[in-house]
């Protein structure tokens, strides 16, 4: 019996944000609503399995000033993409891509741009 099974602990996958690359991202307002949809693709440049990152989304105005910022955990963006939260346990395979879809409310914000930042807690 493994020690983690005996003590009910969990060992996380390695976390190396410097080995993640955003290969594409798009932000779009859903017409007639205050809802914004963000689609992005991240690529792992690691040669080992890594944990899924948290994603910070910063909305900016026309002068590139921050008007809102929110952090999405893997459980958040997996649910938004229709994937089960158990997918977190699988990690991010070496050299693989991760497609992310986030839908969130941005009432009263007039966002002109955004910054997407993957990181680990």
In order along the chain (121 residues), what is the average pLDDT of each group of 10 residues? 71 93 94 92 97 96 94 90 81 95 88 94 90
Alpha carbon distance 35, 38 (integer Å): 10
Token pair, residue 113, equals: 């741009």
Specify the pTM: 0.86
Torsion, Cα 21 48 119 63, to 10 degrees, reads: 0
Domain 12-119 has CATH 1.25.40: no
Q: What local confidence, expressed as pLDDT, does residue 70 receive? A: 94
Q: In sequence order, which ranges of the chain are alpha helices (DSSP H)?
A: 3-7, 74-80
3-state SS class at 33: coil
96 neighbors 102 (Cβ within 8 angstroms): no
């Amino acid at each position: 019996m493994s020690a983690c099974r005996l003590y009910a602990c969990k060992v996380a996958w390695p976390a190396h944000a410097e080995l993640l690359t955003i290969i594409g991202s798009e932000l779009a307002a859903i017409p007639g609503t205050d809802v914004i949809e963000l689609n992005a693709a991240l690529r792992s440049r690691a040669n080992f399995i890594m944990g899924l990152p948290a994603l910070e989304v910063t909305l900016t105005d026309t002068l590139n000033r921050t008007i809102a910022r929110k952090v999405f955990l893997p459980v958040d963006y997996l649910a938004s993409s229709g994937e089960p939260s158990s997918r977190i346990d699988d990690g991010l395979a070496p050299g693989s891509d991760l497609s992310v879809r986030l839908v969130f409310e941005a009432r009263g914000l007039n966002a002109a741009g955004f910054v997407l930042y993957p990181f680990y807690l």
